[in-house]
Structure 1
Amino acid sequence: FELAGYLVTAYVPDVGPRIAGARIRPRFRLPESWQLPFKVSISTEVGFNKRSFEANTVTLEIRPIIEKELGKWYLSFNPDFSKSLRGIDSHRGFEFEPGMKVSYAVSKKLEPGIEYYAATGPVTHFESLHDQHHLIFPTVDINAGADWELNFGVGRGLTGTSERWVIKWIVGYRFSF
């Protein structure tokens, strides 16, 4: 079991950095003793967004996570199902937002990779490709110790409706209880 909390930040031109919201995410993993050919977990994230940054102020994500390590290679597929619980899109059903990651450990400290994220629309009827969001991120994971998670990437939108550029930066610390 894992429990994470996030602060979502945004840089506003002529204003500076701002807190755009917060997230809480419990994650449950299937036991490794089951000896599956890959790791399986499910993450359920509830987001609380400031209206000035997001029209949907409360959101839910249900994200199965399928992971595999092959030597120095790491592969992950995350078929995310998202829903607005409060806001302009709360009348809509679940949306499909897949994510994938491939990385390679060049050393014990450094793992460059590629991450892909998309928002394809309602699970019952995907939007046209022109209206979907697709982003690709060259990334790097830095192993700064057993309890630290450091990830950085610069993403580029691949469709006209995608954000043109996105900087992603994760700094995480595991607390032991």
Structure 2
Amino acid sequence: MRYHLNVLRFAQRLALTVAASGLAAFGLTFVTTDTAVAEFEIQESGVEKGEVELEYRGAVHWGFPRRERESAEEGEGGGALDEEEEGEFLRQSHDIELQWSVTDRWMLSTALSADEPLDEDFDVSSVEFEPQYELVERDGNGFGLAFLGAYGFATRGGEADEIEFGPIVELASGRALLTTNTFFTSQVGEHRETDGLGFEYGWRAQYGVAKKWGIGVEMFGEIEDLSNAGSFNDQQHSIGPTLFFNPGGDDDDDDNGNGNGNVNDKVAGPAKAEFSMNVGVQFGLTDLTSDTALKFQGGLEF
């Protein structure tokens, strides 16, 4: 009987993995037009030696931000603007990231970002390398802290490289988990358009409603140049709900990601999963943010 259950569980995991791969492939072949939009990523603080994870992040956006709409109205993208107004215009962007935990503290990542701006072909827009160091390990309830640094190489002519650095913080209590990413950015090279540091943030508040399911709220924002930040409406900010699904792990395993082993106090998240995914919607809060975005993230750990 136990043998048959194990076979069934393996089949379920295989089917979910195939489904996730299919969704990722579909996203990569779905062609749209517009400028690149940063992906919706919440980086976690945990590092486990020897762990390798392949992650896909994709998003489809509706509605021009004000700056792009004004540019289109001036004749730089009028056709795309007409399509958007008729409900035919969609925007998308994609990230594929590979993470490798070299030690119990150090993790190295590399990511490819792809999109299709107005009047350009679909192509890779940047290649990024990220070292991450875990300063405080979170074991179940409590506090986790890591520091991330990144260098992004722009692959299109006329665009600047970018560096990024800052802390990753996790706070867990029972079924609840709060994760924050607060990063400073700076453009590098002859094509830089800003003089000072920029700022990007993302936070996620999630709650485990069942052993493998969680719900939450995520918010993301960006200030391109802190020395000329302007008003809130001159920045990019969005917020929205997210649904988490963590099918990895055995049904008789009481640890569901926060490490305390209590079936009634668990965080539904990808920390211990072989495969995990989340789907969410983001609503733009400012004129420089897309009106609505549908986001998908899937990860497969080895």
TM-score range, shorter chain: 0.7 to 0.9
For structure 2, the residue ranges without an aligned partner over 5 or more in a row are 1-105, 249-272
Structure 1 match to 2:232: 129
Structure 1 match to 2:178: 75
In the TM superposition, 1:83-122 aligns within 5 A as 83-86=186-189, 88-89=191-192, 91-122=194-225
Structure 2 match to 1:41: 146
Number of residues of Structure 1 aligned to a counterpart in Structure 2:
172
Instruction: Give me the whole-angstrom Cα distance separating, in 2, the residues matched to 1:105 and 1:11.
Output: 36
Q: Do the aligned partners of 2:142 and 2:173 also contact (CA within 8 Å) in 1?
A: no
Instruction: Give me the whole-angstrom Cα distance separating, in 2, the residues matched to 1:157 and 1:58.
Output: 26
Q: Do the aligned partners of 2:116 and 2:123 also contact (CA within 8 Å) in 1?
A: yes
In our comparison, the structure showing a higher alpha carbon Rg is: 2
Q: CA 1:112–1:11 in 2, change beyond 3 Å: closer, same or farther?
A: farther
For structure 1, the residue ranges without an aligned partner over 5 or more in a row are none
Deviates more, 1:85-94 or 1:36-45: 85-94
Instruction: Please state how far the C-alpha of 1:38 moved relative to its aligned partner.
Output: 1.2
Structure 1 match to 2:292: 165
- The alignment's TM-score, normalised by the length of structure 1, stands at 0.79
Instruction: Give me the whole-angstrom Cα distance separating, in 2, the residues matched to 1:47 and 1:121.
Output: 15
Residue 156 (structure 1) aligned to one of 263, 267, 283: 283
TM-superposition CA deviations, 1:68-107 (whole Å, max 9, x none): 1111111012211111113643552211222211011112
| Larger strand fraction of residues | 1
Q: CA 1:91–1:132 in 2, change beyond 3 Å: closer, same or farther?
A: closer
Partner-residue secondary structure (3-state), 2:189 = strand
Question: 1:24 and 2:129 equivalent?
Answer: yes
Identical aligned pairs, as a percentage? 27
Q: Do the aligned partners of 2:134 and 2:145 also contact (CA within 8 Å) in 1?
A: yes
Q: CA 1:119–1:13 in 2, change beyond 3 Å: closer, same or farther?
A: closer
Q: Do the aligned partners of 1:23 and 1:47 also contact (CA within 8 Å) in 2?
A: yes
Instruction: Please state how far the C-alpha of 1:128 moved relative to its aligned partner.
Output: 1.5
Instruction: Please state how far the C-alpha of 1:39 moved relative to its aligned partner.
Output: 0.5
| Larger helix fraction of residues | 2
Instruction: Give me the whole-angstrom Cα distance separating, in 2, the residues matched to 1:151 and 1:16.
Output: 29
Instruction: Give me the whole-angstrom Cα distance separating, in 1, the residues matched to 2:151 and 2:278.
Output: 22
Q: Do the aligned partners of 2:194 and 2:225 also contact (CA within 8 Å) in 1?
A: no
